[in-house]
Chain A
Amino acid sequence: MTSTTVDPGDAREILLSVSSVSKAYGPVRALDDVSLEIWRNEFFALLGPSGCGKTTLLRAIAGFEDLDGGSITIMSGEGPDAASDDLLALPPNKRPVNLMFQSYALFPHMSVRKNIAYGLEREGVARAEVAARVSEVLATVGLEDKASSRPAQLSGGQKQRVALARAIVKRPRLLLLDEPLSALDRKVRAEMQIELKRLQSEVGITFVVVTHDQEEAMSMADRIAVMDGGRVQQVADPVTLYGQPANVFVAGFIGSGTLIPGVIDGAGLRALGRHIPIADTRGLAGAAVLMLRPEQVRLVDSGEIALLDGEVVETHFYGGSSTTSIRVAGLDNPVIASQPGAPVHLVGERVGITWDSSSSVLLAVGP
């Protein structure tokens, strides 16, 4: 993971506050009492399945969606001069934020240079300064030789760079990016992930990215808000999201793993007709779900002491590592175990499954 470590003192400075924001389309609650804070200079991701409300929230911050309730404020100035501005009171063209559209929305009748200069010209910036700033940003995204091309003559990756240049040349306090990589093919996408991250630290602008791709969010963002059904499920850094998901939805959405439902019983979980010891029940009671990540699961030969046992149904070898799927009676999905090197068990073989009971995570069920 390439995420840069930000000085925690600096990172805690709030830039944008979203509080109790709601929006309904008829009976559908696109945003349901959403509150979150975005810190200055961080790379923030809004992650969730389609229809979870992430794009609605992004468009509301940009000014293209009217909200039913709640407030969004942005800080201006730094240190003692800091003041908070009500973002919702401003029309989209007066907000100190810019949005990079999923379709890039480059003006087809203008050259790359004119596209990038458009925002500065509308601000009334002097001609000489416009020219200088456009040239500077063209160099940042590496498109000096395409300045006089039309958007139709550019590749997908180049269009994306122009859209990014057009937004950052305005030096917004906050840059919003709607599915910035979804229109690119796989190889270019991987390059642009690194490129976006580099640009963000280079230009020092706070980025908020909307994505449905958890790998993309995990590899780029400093912090991620996982959304579902118009609600924020959890806001945390990628490592915490993976290791300590707040609920069953987050556990299932981020990474892969096995969820074992059961009922808390003393210092363990009663599930699959047996008692599974849990090191820390985190004060939970009643119904709960145990989450096992593939790398926590260890396989032992049948007959040795194990917490569960089952039959190997599938093995996959990826060169450096391999995964083994084990069907356990009573579980809908097989338990997945990953280990370094080649798989050691054969399909059809009976194996024991065990794990360090202090590393497994217990999740509450329901509200």
Chain B
Amino acid sequence: MRSLGWLRLPLIGAFTFLYIPIAVLVVMSFNASKVPFVWTGFSTRWYGELASNDLIREGLINTLIVAVGATVLATILGTLIAIGVARYVRSSVLEAYSLAPAIIPDLVLAIGLLAFFSLVGVTLSLFSVLLAHVVFGMAFVAAVVIARLGQTDPSLEEASRDLGASAVATFIRVTLPSLGPAILAGALLVFTLSIDEFVVAFFTDGPSTPTLPIVIYSMVRFGVTPEINALATLLLLVSFTIVISAQRITRLTDAV
């Protein structure tokens, strides 16, 4: 491998800028002081307070309901779209349409969905957030699965048919197993995107059921408390775990 030379500088600069705030946040979550950013000693007090905060607990439960539901639906629909686009229709227009929700600005998607929901008379609730998350989640799953389908040999499915398997048996025994890791990676991606999604949730959620990012937003309006630092640290831990496992899974697939 070649040495980076002076190009090391922007790399170090970018990484410092990116990770120092996160490090500060993690350290400060263990600060005993109530005043943010003045270190007075180590404490896990804020993690304890977090657990007893009803608003945050409710927000977390709401977020998990949305994230799990959206992940399940988006994974099923996204996989079907991917197979349809890559194996049956082969239309680049349709492919562009199915991947667009991943690229459209969140704000546009959020306002559009809000207008649509009020037009068709859907009451804003966790259910409408879930549907909204399915819309963009589906596109991310489809993107990952289409990429995988591009690498798999289409004659695998023909070989299965040729050997006497029905279309359904072929889908279950050949198509799904060869796409399995990509589908799982797509699902994890949707889950991580959904748990901390703010813009779309803010526009499509009902007032009585705020999701966690909305709860946090309303708390920080009165200043960042050490409690928020503790919460952010926990979210970071969850996201890291998921991203690393998704990476490991895709590496396993490439090895096949």
Measured between beta carbons, the chain A residues less than 8 angstroms from B174 are 107
Asked whether, in the complex, the Cβ of B166 is within 8 Å of the Cβ of A93, the reply is yes
A101: nearest residue on chain B (CB-CB)?
B155
B54 at the interface (CB under 8 A from A): no
Docked-complex contact A170 and B178, CB < 8 angstroms: no
Q: Are A108 and B161 in contact (CB under 8 A)?
A: no
Chain B residues within 8 Å of chain A by Cβ, number: 18
Q: Is A277 an interface residue (CB 8 A)?
A: no
Most A-side CB within 10 Å, residue of B161, B162, B178: B162
B192 touches A (CB below 8 Å): no
Report yes or no: B163 in contact with A118, Cβ–Cβ below 8 A: yes
- Contacting B at CB under 8 A, from A97-132, are 98-99, 101-103, 105-109, 118-119, 122-123
Task: Check if A170 sits within 8 Å of B163, measured CB to CB.
Answer: yes
* B156 close to A (CB within 8 Å): yes
CB <8 Å contact, B256 and A170: no
Residues of chain B within 8 A (CB-CB) of A94 are 164
CB distance from A279 to the nearest CB of B (A): 51
Cβ of A305 within 8 Å of any chain B Cβ, yes or no, is no
Kindly identify which residue among A105, A119, A166 contacts B155, using a CB–CB cutoff of 8 Å: A105
Contacts of A102 in B (CB 8 A): 155
CB-CB contacts below 8 Å: B151-169 with A:
153, 155-156, 158-166, 169
- Given the complex, which residues of A lie within 8 Å of B166, measured CB to CB? 93, 122
Closest partner residue, chain A, to B158 (CB atom): A64
Question: Are the C-beta atoms of A122 and B164 separated by less than 8 Å?
Answer: yes
Please tell me if A49 contacts chain B, counting CB pairs below 8 Å.
Answer: no
Chain A residues numbered 112-171 whose CB sits less than 8 Å from any CB in chain B: 118-119, 122-123, 152, 166-167, 170
In the complex the two chains form, is B178's CB within 8 Å of A123's CB? Answer: no
Q: Does B112 contact A (CB under 8 A)?
A: no
Known A107-B174, A109-B177; contact A92-B156, beta-carbon cutoff 8 A: no
- Find out whether the CB atom of B163 lies under 8 angstroms from the CB atom of A166: yes
Task: Write out the residue numbers on chain B whose beta carbons fall within 8 Å of the beta carbon of A109.
Answer: 177-178, 256
Do A99 and B162 have beta carbons less than 8 Å apart?
Answer: yes
Chain A residue nearest in CB terms to B165:
A122
Interface contact A123-B155, CB-CB below 8 Å: no
Verify if A45 is at the interface (C-beta below 8 Å from B): no
Q: How far is the CA of A357 from the CA of B44 in the complex (A)?
A: 106
**A105-B156, A108-B256 given; A62·B162 CB < 8 A:** yes
Q: How far is the CA of A167 from the CA of B163 in the complex (A)?
A: 7
Q: Residue B153 contacts which of A92, A105, A119 (CB distance < 8 angstroms)?
A: A105
Select one of B164, B169, B178 contacting A108, CB under 8 A.
Answer: B178
Alpha-carbon distance A158/B217, docked complex (angstroms): 61
- The reply to whether A107 and B165 contact each other, CB–CB distance below 8 Å, is no
With A107-B174, A108-B256 as given contacts, are A93 and B153 in contact (CB-CB < 8 Å)? no
| 18 extra interface residue pairs, beta carbon distance < 8 Å, beyond A93-B166, A109-B178, A122-B164 | A64-B161, A93-B162, A93-B165, A99-B158, A99-B162, A101-B155, A102-B155, A103-B153, A105-B153, A105-B156, A106-B159, A107-B159, A109-B256, A118-B173, A119-B164, A122-B163, A170-B163, A170-B164
Report, nearest first, the 8 A-B pairs whose CB atoms are least far apart: A119-B163, A105-B159, A122-B164, A105-B155, A92-B161, A101-B155, A109-B177, A122-B165
Residues of A within 8 A of B (CB): 62-64, 91-94, 98-99, 101-103, 105-109, 118-119, 122-123, 152, 166-167, 170
**Can you name 30 A-B pairs with beta carbons within 8 Å?**
A62-B158, A63-B162, A64-B161, A64-B162, A92-B161, A92-B162, A93-B161, A93-B166, A98-B163, A99-B158, A99-B162, A101-B155, A101-B159, A102-B155, A103-B155, A105-B155, A105-B158, A105-B159, A106-B159, A107-B159, A107-B174, A107-B177, A107-B178, A118-B163, A119-B163, A122-B164, A122-B166, A123-B164, A152-B256, A170-B163
